[in-house]
């Protein structure tokens, strides 16, 4: 996903002017303007006392180009004393953005402004630990393929994208193939020595040998169509307990397709 933005004044990769709350966001591509140009936002502004305006846990890898007031994250910050405005736990890639300063200019006073932002190298920006140390949530919100890409939001990950690097490719196909009806279960009896799944063919063998052993029946039902695996993705969203042709169909829909932060 790459977004290119061009304008005159107040130009950003995510927003031109921010007067609210931005969280768990990122921008990329190119941002070009004349003045107040930032990788994430062109202008960050608040003149309202006791009204929180902030950006937190966000980053940018957008190339920034402007003639006047440019910053890796924000072009210009405008605010009045007494406002609750802050930038917190945010990052920008100093190499990709071409900017050493996160904020181009503070246009009133920094007395009431909290700034906790960091310019990092590309290598540092592709390391999970750096973001985790800043409190970024990789259990529920973010994901990263370390060393190959920047953080992504988890909702961007495709169902068939099992392994790094980002996107659906041969590495993911190998996972699909490894999971393909490939678990030998105790009650997988038919045909011959089993086919990788406990289904009606096995039920027929089990019923023929039925001896009123309820324990065996319980074990049998526990294994019923319960092969599963990482590649069990169809039907969406949680699969059906077996990796089969339906999972292959869904996998093929995403083949060589991905949502990348590059």
At a CB cut-off of 8 Å and minimum separation 6, what does 87 contact?
A: 44, 54, 55, 56, 73, 74, 102, 103, 114, 115, 116, 117
- At residue 249 the predicted structure's pLDDT band, cuts being 50, 70 and 90, is confident
Domain holding 27, by residue range, is 5-139
**pLDDT tens, 34-78?**
999 999 999 988 766 666 668 899 999 999 999 999 999 999 887
Between these two residues, 213 and 232, which has the higher pLDDT value? 232
pLDDT of residue 170: 80
Q: Is residue 31, in this structure, part of any structural domain at all?
A: yes
Q: Which of 20, 40, 14, 30 is nearest to 103 (CA)?
A: 40
Q: Is 197 inside any structural domain?
A: no
Residue 87 within a domain: yes
Residue 134 within a domain:
yes
Residue 184: band (very low, low, confident or very high) from pLDDT cuts 50, 70, 90? very low
Question: Would you place residue 137 in the very low, low, confident or very high pLDDT band (cuts 50, 70, 90)?
Answer: very high
Residue 55 to residues 4, 118, 120, Cα–Cα distance (Å): 21, 13, 18
Query: What gap in Å lies between CA 127 and CA 237, rounded to an integer?
Result: 29
pTM attached to this predicted model: 0.72
- Integer Cα distance of 37 and 64 in angstroms: 7
> Has residue 150 been placed in a domain?
no
Q: How many domains, in total, are found in the chain?
A: 1
Q: Which residue has the higher pLDDT, 259 or 53?
A: 53
What is the model's pLDDT at position 262?
54
Cβ within 8 Å of residue 81, ≥6 positions away: 108, 109, 111, 112
- Rounded CA Rg of the chain: 26
Distance between CA atoms of residues 34 and 28, nearest Å? 19
Residue 52, domain member (yes or no): yes
In a domain, 227, yes or no: no
Residue that wins the pLDDT comparison between 18 and 23 = 23
Residue 188: the pLDDT is 66
The whole-number average pLDDT for the span 20-25 is: 91
Average pLDDT, the chain: 80
246 occurs within a structural domain: no
More confident residue, 211 or 244: 244
Query: What's the length of the chain?
Result: 262
End-to-end CA distance of the chain: 7
CB 119 within 8 A of CB 134: no
Select from 117, 25, 44, 37 the least CA-distant residue to 83: 44
Structure token pair of residue 29? 């591509």
pLDDT (tens digit per residue) in 103-114: 998 776 544 566
């Amino acid at each position: 996903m790459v977004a290119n933005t061009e304008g005159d004044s107040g130009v950003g990769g995510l927003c031109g002017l921010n007067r609210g709350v931005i969280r768990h966001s990122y921008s990329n591509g190119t941002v070009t303007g004349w003045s107040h140009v930032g990788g994430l936002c062109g202008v960050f502004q608040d003149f309202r006392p006791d009204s929180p305006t902030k950006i937190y846990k966000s980053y940018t890898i957008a190339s920034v180009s402007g003639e006047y007031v440019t910053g890796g994250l924000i072009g210009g910050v405008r605010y009045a004393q007494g406002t609750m405005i802050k930038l917190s736990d945010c990052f920008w890639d100093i190499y990709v953005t071409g900017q050493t300063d996160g904020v181009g200019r503070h246009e009133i006073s920094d007395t009431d402004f909290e700034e906790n932002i960091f310019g990092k190298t590309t290598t540092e920006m592709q390391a999970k630990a750096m973001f985790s140390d800043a409190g970024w949530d990789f259990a529920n919100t973010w994901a990263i393929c370390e060393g190959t890409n920047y953080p992504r939001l988890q909702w961007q990950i495709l169902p068939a994208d099992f392994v790094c690097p980002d996107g659906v490719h041969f590495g993911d196909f190998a996972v699909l193939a490894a999971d393909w009806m490939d678990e030998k279960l105790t009650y997988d009896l038919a045909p011959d020595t089993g086919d990788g799944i406990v289904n009606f063919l096995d039920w027929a063998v089990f019923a023929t040998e039925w001896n009123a052993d309820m324990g065996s029946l319980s074990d049998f039902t526990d294994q019923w169509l319960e092969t599963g695996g990482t590649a069990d993705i169809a039907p969406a969203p949680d699969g059906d307990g077996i990796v089969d042709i339906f999972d292959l169909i869904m996998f093929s829909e995403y083949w060589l397709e991905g949502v990348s932060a590059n």
